[in-house]
Structure 1
Amino acid sequence: MEAEKPKWKKLTKHSKEFKNSDINILDDGCIMHIFSFLSPIPDRYNTALVCHRWRFLACHPRLWLRVDRSVRDLSQPGVFPSIETAVSSARPGDTILIASGGIHRTSNIQIKKPLCLIGAGELPDDTTLFCSRGSDSALEFLSTCKLANLTVRAELGCCLLHRSGRLTIDGCILQCESDPLDHLSHAIVTTATTPDVFPSALKNSGDSVSVMRTRIEGGAKAVLTSGTLSLKQVRVIYTRTSLFFWFKVEHS
């Protein structure tokens, strides 16, 4: 027992040093402003594990909104029972953190403002968005958005429908159910079109789809383009159980 005393003293000293560190002298508003420059996953998420104060500030609705189906107290600010209500309440530029565990049912949810949707689990399999048969898509994008660390599953139709804006899909799993009608299923469908304008205006239109480190399963095609976007810069890594895609869809 005597040999362990220096170890405990060292830990206590370290804890006191952290409590009195320069950053903790700042008020809550300053610390939240610093946290706002961190990427939601993993940096801002990791800050919430440091102490109770940092957890409160890192999870503050000023920094991101949360979707948690188990929430019973709907008066809690920044927490919503469904993705649809979170998207409706979000401001342009907000980040929505979707709780892991279970299935979040999504059907033709239109996103018309710049948002970032992120799964809260360690892996994309931990957070699943499910689109039932009879819906065109799970999520429909009409603005610049980012999707990360999520699994999107569609029974029929497409997982993601891109209308306009710059859509970035990073570290996700897109699944189309395999059945006799799988020729009607596509992981991503883009219908973005370009108006008849000068080439200089075309460059500023900003309609594109970028997919990175994403596994695509089932469906007739990974991407279906019915507008003026074309598939470019394709990179595929094949393993025994899956295909990983790195590609961009841009104006032709």
Structure 2
Amino acid sequence: MTQVHTTNRMRERFSVHLRAPSFHRGMMEDGQTRKWKRYGRDTTYSPINNLDDGCLMHIFSFLSPKPDRYNTALVCHRWHFLACHPRLWLRVDRSVKNLSKPGVFPSIETAVAAARPGDTILIASGGSHLASNIQIKKPLCLIGAGELPDDTTLVCSRGFDSALEFSSTCKLANLTVRAELGCCLLHRSGRLIIDSCILQCESNPLDHLSYAIVSTASATEYEVVPSAVKSCSDSVSVSQTRIEGGAKAVLASGALSLQQVRVIYARASVFFWFDMEHQQQ
């Protein structure tokens, strides 16, 4: 009997000894989990937040305004401030009463005048914005803030040549541009990118004067330095864009020619993809 009791006590001690490390290990794991959960709630422990504001804003500048930069602004208060900073984009919003707020403008013309080369201008959705002969001579990106191009409309009144006139590398996205007479977009020089837009020329007796896109770009300024043609040449690139009305979709009176045309017919719309570039010799 004594030997049996002794054996049982040894087994109990041995089993406690085996259980003890796993118990302490579980306590350590629980403590580590609680630690990471606590750190997870506090974004200051994230390594990227060790960067200063200038570095973070520079990183945000490489994100597409919609939806990536929008989503970035939802992370925390600091990221919201940096992602919405006027250095990254300007806003056109007629409904804002306090126009003294930095980066907010009542019209596209004032926003273009205040923008620096490389800025992004976000145009508020709802209603229409007047755009008549607005000359853009610096690299800019104009984007509609709505979910669809129909949500943000730029209107060129009768009596003006175009809604927007481009003389630099620019991008137009998620916008509807409507011209009562004349053309929606006038391309003088530079590289113009039109993505997911609607270009409308209203029907009237003078339809023969209406065009969605007019380009007057010439290749003469690049003939001296042939090596610069590929990187600096004038061009118009159109993708996923609907063109309505007018005598012609495109009028090229300069040195550009229509290339790589692709059309997709939807139930209620026709979408175009094409490029206007210098014809290769």
Normalising by the residue count of structure 1, what TM-score does the alignment of the two structures yield? 0.89
The answer to whether 1:71 aligns with 2:99 is: no
Question: CA–CA distance in 2 between the matches of 1:237 and 1:16?
Answer: 48
Aligned to 1:233: 260
C-alpha displacement of 1:53 = 2.6
User: Partner of 1:87: helix, strand, or coil?
Assistant: helix
Aligned to 1:121: 146
The structure with the larger Rg is 2
The answer to whether 1:191 aligns with 2:216 is: yes
The answer to whether 1:130 aligns with 2:140 is: no
Greater fraction of residues in helix: 2
Aligned residue identity for 1:23: I
- Percent identity over the alignment is 78
Question: CA–CA distance in 2 between the matches of 1:199 and 1:31?
Answer: 38
User: Partner of 1:125: helix, strand, or coil?
Assistant: helix
Aligned to 2:8: none
C-alpha displacement of 1:202 = 4.5
C-alpha displacement of 1:24 = 3.3
User: Partner of 2:220: helix, strand, or coil?
Assistant: coil
Aligned residue identity for 2:246: G
Moved over 6 A (4+): 12-15
Aligned residue identity for 2:102: P
C-alpha displacement of 1:19 = 5.8
Q: Assess if the C-alpha contact under 8 Å between 1:208 and 1:249 holds in 2.
A: yes
Aligned residue identity for 1:233: Q
Q: Assess if the C-alpha contact under 8 Å between 1:217 and 1:242 holds in 2.
A: no
C-alpha distance 32-137 of structure 1, shift in aligned 2 (>3 A)? same
Aligned residue identity for 1:161: L
Q: Assess if the C-alpha contact under 8 Å between 2:191 and 2:235 holds in 1.
A: yes
Correspondence for 1:93 among 118, 126, 132? 118
Aligned to 1:4: none
Question: CA–CA distance in 2 between the matches of 1:219 and 1:235?
Answer: 19
Greater Cα offset, 196-205 or 50-59:
196-205
Aligned residue identity for 2:140: L
Q: Between Structure 1 and Structure 2, how many residues are aligned?
A: 242
Aligned to 2:137: 112
Aligned to 2:65: 40
Question: CA–CA distance in 2 between the matches of 1:34 and 1:244?
Answer: 34
Normalising by the residue count of structure 2, what TM-score does the alignment of the two structures yield? 0.80
User: Partner of 1:53: helix, strand, or coil?
Assistant: helix
The answer to whether 1:206 aligns with 2:233 is: yes
Map Cα deviations across residues 120-161 of structure 1 (whole Å, 9 max, x no partner): 111111111111111110000001111111111111111000
The answer to whether 1:246 aligns with 2:273 is: yes
Aligned to 1:3: none
C-alpha displacement of 1:71 = 2.2
Aligned residue identity for 2:193: T
Aligned to 1:141: 166
Question: CA–CA distance in 2 between the matches of 1:187 and 1:133?
Answer: 15
C-alpha displacement of 1:223 = 0.6
Q: Assess if the C-alpha contact under 8 Å between 2:149 and 2:174 holds in 1.
A: yes
Question: CA–CA distance in 2 between the matches of 1:51 and 1:125?
Answer: 31
User: Partner of 1:152: helix, strand, or coil?
Assistant: strand
C-alpha displacement of 1:77 = 1.2
Q: Assess if the C-alpha contact under 8 Å between 2:219 and 2:233 holds in 1.
A: no
Greater Cα offset, 45-54 or 242-251:
45-54
User: Partner of 2:68: helix, strand, or coil?
Assistant: helix
Structure 2: give runs of 5+ residues left out of the alignment: 1-33
Question: CA–CA distance in 2 between the matches of 1:101 and 1:88?
Answer: 23
Q: Assess if the C-alpha contact under 8 Å between 1:138 and 1:154 holds in 2.
A: yes
C-alpha displacement of 1:22 = 2.6
Structure 1: give runs of 5+ residues left out of the alignment: 1-8
